[in-house]
Structure 1
Amino acid sequence: MKIIQVTDLHLVTPGETLCGLDPLARLQACIADINQNHPDAELVIFSGDLSETGSEVTYRALAEELTHLVPPFRLMLGNHDNRLAFRHVFETANREDGFIHSVEDLAEGRLIMLDTLLPGRPEGRLDEARLRWLQKRLEEAKDRAVFLFSHHPPFPIHMPLLDRMGIIEADALYVLLKQHGNVRHIFAGHAHRPIAGSWRGIPVSVLRGTNHQSALDFSPDKIAVTHEPPAYAVIFIDRDSVIVHFHDFLDRSAAYR
């Protein structure tokens, strides 16, 4: 099973730039690269911060670009997003509670995509309503493998400023995941860094966004923006393994032969 993860598009009004870069052009290049190299992907998951401003015009630009994407896709929200503006364009929300979270059942297990948006704040939130929703989805999965997608990492990455912007209810989240007992991986965005490891025994990964990145800086009170290469993740899942490749899709250097 092949899944593509794309994160942190940070779209602005078409024609404008962010951090000296064109987020829309970066997204177009990302989609073109996926179409060329991974049209067979079962799903492309965009894991939040689709927009920098949360404006409808950015979501309409996204909707237009997604018409060119070959594989099916799912959209998630991050702290820069706006649920109301997003729904005006994509008309999608969970009927149960209004959040933009979803489930996809595939051959190797259940993919759960969380809505961790806390409007007006950089931190992620999983309040009681969202935790109840997650508990139900985990119970439905029974003993099937679960793969969790969250914009905000619930785990520390040891970059202090970014760690203060994680999921507030990380401990409560872990209790649910531990109860299920078969959560094989957590995929996150938000940090704009390529990161891999484990959190309380659960494998985790984070990747760069499609526009600007965060500097690898462990200072306690700052984070700098960089122009490190944008990337998406190519994820292979089978019964025995979860393998995550980070692909710098703008790299046009020739392969050495």
Structure 2
Amino acid sequence: MKIVQVTDLHLARPGETVAGLDPYAGLDACLVDILRHHADAAVCVLTGDLTNDGQPEAYAALAERLRAFPIPVRLLLGNHDDRPAFRGAFPDAEVDENGFVQSVLDWPTGRLIFLDSLDPGHVGGRLCAARLAWLDARLEEAAERTVYVFLHHPPFAVHIPAIDACRLAEADADALAHRLKAHGGVRHVFAGHVHRPIFGSWHGIPVSVLRGTNHQMGLEMTGARAGVSYEAPAYGIAVIDAAGLMLHMREFPLPPPRS
């Protein structure tokens, strides 16, 4: 199974820039590159911050692009997103019984679980009791299977102070870790939010975050602020087989700016 992960699109109203860049140029170049090199992917997961400020026009523009994209897509929400505006543009997106944008995808190689960590009005993320209860049920269903978890906010520290100050709430991260360790078959946690390539382990579970398709964050491991970085945008490719998982990060070229 091949999974493509795209994160932190930060789409604004068409024609507006974000961090001095056109976020649609980054997204369009990303989609073209995926189809050129990884059209055989089973699913493309967009791990949140689909928009820069929850603008309905941005969701509409994303929906228009994805209608022509042949790979199945799962969309997650980040702190820059707006749940009602998202559902207005994507009425067929899977949600749980409480309206959170959470779902699963079962494959012979295991179960993919997609979590909604958006906490409206806050930069950091939450997994409330209702979302954790939903997760409990999905993990119980997959008791004998391998599991891969996707969410926007990292539940782990990345040791960039400005990012760690607004990751998943510590109590929720602890509750998530307890559940994933108890399952025993969770093989990877994929996150966004950080705009940096980071790979490691958390409570014995491999984890990763990636660059976004627009701007990146600087590697500032001291101090309380992390500035914008203009490193190349990228997406991830995870290949899962019976022996394990390999994760690649693919930088892709942007079109030259219009004169």
Same fold (TM over 0.5): yes
CA distance in 1, matches of 2:104, 2:252: 27
Alignment correspondent of 1:115: 116
Distance in structure 1 (CA, Å) of the matches to 2:139 and 2:230? 38
Corresponding position of 1:203:
206
**Structure 1 residue 117 displacement after superposition:** 0.1
* Aligned match of 1:46: 46
Give the aligned partner of residue 33 of structure 2. 33
Unaligned runs of 5+ in 1: 253-257
Within 5 Å, give how 1:231-250 maps onto structure 2. 231-250=234-253
Measure the CA separation in 1 of the matches of 2:68 and 2:233. Answer: 20
In structure 2, what is the Cα distance between the partners aligned to 1:8 and 1:229?
13
* 1:128 aligned partner, one-letter code: A
The CA distance in 1 between the partners of 2:234 and 2:119, in whole Å, is 26
Aligned ranges for residues 84-99 of structure 1 at < 5 Å?
A: 84-91=84-91, 92-99=93-100
Instruction: Give CA-to-partner distance per residue, 1:184-237, whole Å, 9 cap, x none.
Output: 000000000000010010000110000000001112311100111000001101
CA RMSD across the alignment: 1.1
Where do residues 93-172 of structure 1 align in structure 2 (5 Å cutoff)? 93-168=94-169, 169-172=172-175
Letter in 2 for 1:113: F
Kindly state the Cα deviation for residue 95 of structure 1 after the two structures are TM-superposed. Answer: 4.5
Alignment match, 2:2: 2
Does the CA-based 8 Å contact 1:213-1:228 persist in structure 2?
Answer: yes
2:195 to 192, 195, 198: 192
SS of 2:106's partner is: strand
| Alpha-carbon shift at residue 166 of structure 1 (Å) | 1.1
C-alpha distance after superposition, 1:49-106 (max 9, x if no partner): 0000101100000001112212111100000000000011101352411000110001
Q: Output the TM-score relative to the length of structure 2.
A: 0.95
Distance of aligned partners of 1:240 and 1:251 in 2 relative to their CA distance in 1, 3 Å threshold? farther
Q: After TM superposition, which residue ranges in structure 1, 4 or more long, deviate above 3 angstroms? A: none
> Aligned equivalents of 2:61 and 2:222: distance in 1?
36
Q: What is the identity, as a one-letter code, of the residue corresponding to 2:55?
A: S
Q: How many angstroms does 1:111 deviate by?
A: 0.2
Which segment is superposed worse, 234-243 or 186-195?
234-243
Structure 2: give runs of 5+ residues left out of the alignment: none
Q: Distance in 2 between matches of 1:95 and 1:103?
A: 10
Indicate the SS of the match to 1:61: helix
2-structure distance, mates of 1:112, 1:147: 6
Q: Is the 8 A contact 2:153 2:191 kept in 1?
A: yes
Tell whether the 8 Å contact from 2:96 to 2:102 is kept in structure 1 after alignment. no
CA distance in 2, matches of 1:60, 1:182: 37
| Shift of residue 20, structure 1, vs aligned partner | 1.1
The residue type paired with residue 146 of structure 2 is A
Equivalents in 1 of 2:32, 2:119: separation in Å?
32
Post-superposition offset of 1:250? 1.2
Distance 1:139 1:62 in 2: 34
Structure 2 residue 182 is matched with structure 1 residue 182: no
Identical residues among aligned pairs (%)? 53
